[in-house]
Amino acid sequence: MDTSTAHCTVAFGLRRAGVVAPTGHAEHLAALIREVVSSMSDVERIVVGVGPGPYTGLRVGVVTAATMAQALGIPVAGVCSLDGLGRRLGDGVVVTDARRREVFAARYRGGRRLGDPLVLPPAQVADKWPGVHVVGPAVQRYPDLGEFAQLEAADLVDVTADLPVHPWYLREPDATPAS
């Protein structure tokens, strides 16, 4: 499952479901899981996209995955949410909307990520990686970046899932506690 963008997505075997939900991932995720998983006893392992992504969306996916794994007594592992699209892309840069007029971006070669994702203004993507093909959901908001493509949980199935199951934030959340 992946909730790192506005597209909340779940895959199980060949079945997949997704919904564009700028808010309300918590309301949609359980329904999507029920849509693709006919019996929870069939689930042997959970892979969850841990980001980078917006604070609340990531927490919904990560907490749901961890809770399901504990309840079912099965393993759970995290994966960089950009890696599925990066694997599909092969060579290039994957970008997602980081809000605050920024994008999360990672460079891929042969479908493998080259270093950790970055958060940067869209105009700096071409400066950092000149002439490199750019794809991802952030292109919907910043069309000059490259080609639109959605992150899909189904793409994460073949990616090595070896990250801790906690949100991967690249900056502090928008909300802060009152002092």
How far apart CA 54 and CA 169 sit, in angstroms, is: 8
Domain limits, the chain: 7-80+152-156, 89-145
pLDDT tens digits for the chain (179 residues)? 999 988 888 998 766 777 766 667 778 888 889 888 989 999 999 999 999 988 888 899 999 999 999 999 999 999 999 999 999 999 999 999 998 899 999 999 999 999 999 999 999 999 999 999 999 999 999 999 999 999 988 888 888 899 999 999 887 766 666 76
Q: How many CB atoms lie within 10 A of CB 16?
A: 17
Ramachandran region, residue 92 (left: φ > 0; alpha: ψ -120 to 50; beta: rest): left
Contact 145, 134 (CB under 8 A): yes
Q: How far apart are the C-alpha atoms of 114 and 107, rounded to whole Å?
A: 6
- The CATH homologous superfamily to which domain 7-80+152-156 belongs is ATPase, nucleotide binding domain (3.30.420.40)
Q: Are 60 and 50 in contact (CB under 8 A)?
A: no
Q: Please provide residue 26's backbone torsions phi and psi, each rounded to the nearest 5 degrees.
A: -60, -35
